[in-house]
Structure 1
């Protein structure tokens, strides 16, 4: 199942800067692990925002939820999820 996920990150200004830097480092490692597994297929930065739009390829709603909550920055995120399906006019066969 494909899902479009928008993640808006809002780390409070009073949050310890060193801890924030460490969380971002761990977040990047977790993201790359999920990307290598094929679960996190695409990620795009939203210009001018601390946000991204991503495409996940997972087995279920529950699996997506379970992956998202493992992200170190998850407590600071507002997450919007939309299920996707292949558009009949797409020329790409891997759009499932």
Structure 2
């Protein structure tokens, strides 16, 4: 199942910078592992924002939920999820 996910990260300005750096490093490691596994297919930064658009390819809503909840920055995110499916007018036979 493909999902388009917008993540807006809202870290409190009062948070200890060392804690923020640790969370960001952990988040990066998890996201790169998920990308290598093919579950986090694409990630794009939104210019001028601490936000991204991502495409996830997972087995179920539950798997996406578990991935999102496992992200170290999740407690500081506003997340919008949109399920995706192939459009009947698409000329593609796959998800490329």
TM-score, with length taken from structure 1: 0.95
Measure the CA separation in 2 of the matches of 1:88 and 1:62. 26
| 1:46 shift after superposition | 0.7
Instruction: Please identify runs of 4+ aligned residues in structure 1 that moved more than 4 A.
Output: none
Alignment partner of 1:41 is 2:41:
yes
Number of matched residues?
96
- Gaps (5+ residues) in structure 2? none
SS in 2 for 1:78: strand
**Corresponding residue for 1:71?**
71
Measure the CA separation in 2 of the matches of 1:36 and 1:84. 21
- Gaps (5+ residues) in structure 1? none
Root-mean-square deviation (CA), in Å?
1.2
Alignment partner of 1:58 is 2:58:
yes
Measure the CA separation in 2 of the matches of 1:94 and 1:85. 11
| 1:94 shift after superposition | 1.9
Measure the CA separation in 2 of the matches of 1:30 and 1:23. 11
SS in 2 for 1:14: coil
Alignment partner of 1:29 is 2:29:
yes
| 1:27 shift after superposition | 0.5
